Amino acid sequence: MNKLIITVIIILTFNQSLRAQDLQIKKVSLNDSIELSANMKHLAKDFLLKMHEYKDTVEAKDLFRIKILAEKYKPAIKTIHSLREEITDPIEHPRFIQYETYAKAKAKQSDFDSSFIESYASAFTDYLQTCSDEQAYSVNLIFTTYDGVAQYTNRFESNYEKLNSGKISFEQALSVMKDYFMYKVYSATESIVFEKIGEDNNKRYLIDEDILINTEDGAGISAIVVRKKNATPMPAVLYFTIYADPSNLKDAILAASKGYVGVFATSRGKKSSSSKIEPYKHEYSDVYTVIDWISKQAWNDGRVGMYGGSYGGFSQWASMKERVHPALKTIVPSVSAAPGIDVPMENNVFLNFSYSWIPYVTNNAYLDNTVYYDQNRWDNLQKNWFESGRPYSKMDSIDGTPNELFQEWISHPSYDGYWQNMIPYKKEFAQIDIPVLTTTGFYDDGQRGAMYYYNQHLKYNPDAEHYLLIGPYDHWGAQIRSSSYLRGYQIDPVANIDIKQGLVFDWFDYIFKGKEKPSILQDKVNIQVMGTNEWMSKPSLSEMSNGSLVYYLGEKNIDTTYKLDTSKPKKESLLNLSIDFSDRSQMNNPDYYPWPIIKDKINLKDGLVFMSEPLEKETIINGSFSGELIISSNKKDFDFSVSLYELTPEGKYFHLSYYIGRASYSKSRVQREQLKPNKETIITFDNTRIVSKKLSKESKLVVVFNGNKNPYGQINYGTGRDVSTESLDDAAVPLELKINTESNFIIPLWNDK
């Protein structure tokens, strides 16, 4: 064929392709919803006419959305059905049921000339009537948004504003229509869904939201009770927390949907209680009182179980401080807060996150979200305090708002009677003889609290029926549901579990209904080994490791790092770390917190960085790493941090674990023992976060030892006085630490035999 003819054909084909991609949009004001809808309908119809040119680039899950916008409802529903797979879990919802319901309502509106509200209310009610109690409980998860449609609204408006009237590309059209679809569906239906869910709940359950339980000292405890209609007496599941919120009803309904009486109670002073709000102080007696009240109700069969995370985990342990109520048959504490242990201080170092938490829960009878989520206020407060060098005790003065509870907390820097009176202490754990299931995560902020209860319970009651589940979860994942993508790390598929709606109630069914124990609990300790897609189960925490790597401090590498040696040094020497507290232009240890989990680099000039030789084989780290520091300080005290990383063969830093603590409390969190300046002493630590991961061959272990000077917690200037009263005036002489190279770090391992 003539080359000229071929060229012409190619040009014509190319130009036709370009013309096919050019679609038309007429932009109107976002406030003109009628005209906007008409224009998006026209764009969708035009898109479908020209779509045959691009049939390989439009996924079916996008195609049904475009069909709905083009008002082709029956073809859209047919496409949705083609995407369905058989439902194996009876509590799951059919895929895309929320969009099918919308399409059915729009079709009915068109066929019968009715209002959309009437049509959608009818279609949604029809679906609700087909749902089991468990399905009905979770229906809001797919039919509503968590933020009142704000995310979808912002995404669409941002995308739309970028377009110009006239020609737009195929890709632009597809993108803006997908965003508009989500905005249009949820903004049109969400209020109807909430109304109909409320009506459906009242058909299924007896709901009492206005209960006030009186305590012996005259305080009031607000409670919600939800139970099935015409049910015989049954076990009750109690959730007790300080987080009073309208969503509390949902948690009570969850228990009812699972075949229990759901009871949700809140701390004194919350909701309809007029008592003074005093976090942590009264749960040891108040929760016991609520359990006792439940056990005397006609709808209860004399058995009560508890679950809940964070504060809700703490309240379960607190209820058993003096005695275990005879009706309490089991608890499932998740990510349990332990006051004085991990909040508001960790290893006796006060952390700043707790300061903003106080007004969040004490400003009113519910939650002060406006104050708590004012991130600029809290960021500026930390920054101003840090840069000013004023004492920690002046935090509320800098904030401009008196904080009585904060001042009360920092007046107890030791784990003294103030904290000990809130939860079981020492031998008080021995009386706890009911089955317990604890859940926490490698990256759970409350892991050390959860593990404190676990370790103390088994220390004083070695035969306790106490199960532990721990995996790659944060504070939310370990009490609600795992996140597949956690802070930059994609967890193993086997780690994806639903704790709140799944595991917790499988456990209750095991205890109360005689069903099989949850299959994931193969033994007393169950830990997910990252990188293996497997769970490991052992009878005890100590049996999770059967070996260790001991590293000593070596000489300097070519760069700024030091060696981690597996052999004890033939000749001891000293490594120096100096921290100038008067220099506020530089921070120390601002990046100890694992966010993200995987980093391209870390600051090798911040603190002392130690690096091992490459591992000769794949190795599983399993447990809490520990250390023995032979160290001297020119001051009477100091705070320090130790962080552990895997440096992968690809050059990524995988954050494994960390420790932050105060040297003067290293022997006992109860009794402070100040250091003798310039005299060598031994500081041991083992209260690090548990982790389990398969380390790659050729990986290196990296340990970062550092002092603590940043806006995120107390600054210990080393005078030996109460740290909260120290200030920049005490920073004249830098902190000088001398670390003996015979100091060591111990990495727990699991070796397959």
- 236: Cα separation from own chain's centroid: 26
Which helix (H) or strand (E) segment is 506 a member of?
helix 504-512
Q: What pLDDT shows up at residue 21?
A: 53
According to DSSP, residue 476 is labeled T
**528: nearest Cα among 477, 568, 578, 567:** 477
Map tokens 């009113």 to a residue: 364
The sign of the CA dihedral 714, 717, 723, 729 is negative
Looking at domain 215-341+419-542, does it have CATH number 3.40.50.1820? yes
All structural domains of the chain with their residue ranges = 3-202, 215-341+419-542, 349-412, 545-750
User: Which distant-in-sequence residues (6+ apart) come within 8 Å of 329 by Cβ?
Assistant: 235, 303, 304, 305, 434, 435, 511, 512
Q: What pLDDT shows up at residue 56?
A: 57
Compute and round to an integer the Cα radius of gyration of the chain. Answer: 30
Any idea of the CA torsion for 358, 361, 362, 365, to the nearest 10 degrees?
Answer: 170
Q: What pLDDT shows up at residue 17?
A: 42
User: Which distant-in-sequence residues (6+ apart) come within 8 Å of 1 by Cβ?
Assistant: none
Question: Rounded to an integer, what distance in angstroms lies between the CA atom of residue 686 and that of residue 290?
Answer: 37
Which helix (H) or strand (E) segment is 328 a member of?
strand 328-334
Question: Rounded to an integer, what distance in angstroms lies between the CA atom of residue 688 and that of residue 438?
Answer: 18
Q: What pLDDT shows up at residue 1?
A: 44
User: Which distant-in-sequence residues (6+ apart) come within 8 Å of 583 by Cβ?
Assistant: none
Question: Rounded to an integer, what distance in angstroms lies between the CA atom of residue 195 and that of residue 147?
Answer: 17
Q: What pLDDT shows up at residue 397?
A: 98
**349: nearest Cα among 748, 708, 742:** 708
Q: What pLDDT shows up at residue 113?
A: 84
User: Which distant-in-sequence residues (6+ apart) come within 8 Å of 59 by Cβ?
Assistant: none
- Tokens for 306, please give them: 């508890």
Contact 70, 63 (CB under 8 A): no
> Three-state SS for 739?
strand
**96: nearest Cα among 115, 81, 113, 75:** 81
| Segment-wise mean pLDDT, segments of 10 residues, the chain, 753 residues | 38 39 87 95 94 76 96 96 88 95 95 92 97 96 96 97 92 95 98 98 98 98 97 98 97 98 98 98 98 98 98 98 98 98 98 98 98 98 98 98 98 98 98 98 98 98 98 98 97 98 98 98 98 98 97 94 96 96 96 97 97 97 98 98 98 98 98 98 97 98 98 98 98 97 98 85
Q: How many residues would you count in the chain?
A: 753
Q: Under the phi-then-psi rule, with left for phi > 0, alpha for psi from -120 to 50, and beta for the rest, what region is 678?
A: left
> Three-state SS for 554?
strand
Question: Rounded to an integer, what distance in angstroms lies between the CA atom of residue 440 and that of residue 468?
Answer: 8
State the pTM of this model.
0.94
300-309 vs 234-241, strand pairing mode = parallel
Question: Rounded to an integer, what distance in angstroms lies between the CA atom of residue 728 and that of residue 584?
Answer: 10
Map tokens 């009242």 to a residue: 202
User: Which distant-in-sequence residues (6+ apart) come within 8 Å of 5 by Cβ?
Assistant: none
Cα angle at 325 between 321 and 328, to 5 degrees? 110
Contact 623, 545 (CB under 8 A): yes
Task: Give the largest CA-CA distance in the chain.
Answer: 101
466-474 vs 485-486, strand pairing mode = unpaired
Which helix (H) or strand (E) segment is 178 a member of?
helix 170-204
Contact 649, 696 (CB under 8 A): yes
User: Which distant-in-sequence residues (6+ apart) come within 8 Å of 31 by Cβ?
Assistant: none
Question: Rounded to an integer, what distance in angstroms lies between the CA atom of residue 700 and that of residue 747?
Answer: 13
Which helix (H) or strand (E) segment is 459 a member of?
helix 447-460
Please state which architecture CATH assigns to domain 545-750. Sandwich (2.60)
Q: What pLDDT shows up at residue 22?
A: 76
Question: Rounded to an integer, what distance in angstroms lies between the CA atom of residue 201 and that of residue 257?
Answer: 10
Q: What pLDDT shows up at residue 86?
A: 83
User: Which distant-in-sequence residues (6+ apart) come within 8 Å of 694 by Cβ?
Assistant: 529, 530, 531, 532, 618, 619, 620
- Tokens for 601, please give them: 């680099």
700-707 vs 619-623, strand pairing mode = unpaired
Question: Rounded to an integer, what distance in angstroms lies between the CA atom of residue 385 and that of residue 398?
Answer: 7
> Three-state SS for 339?
strand
**381: nearest Cα among 346, 349, 353, 405:** 353
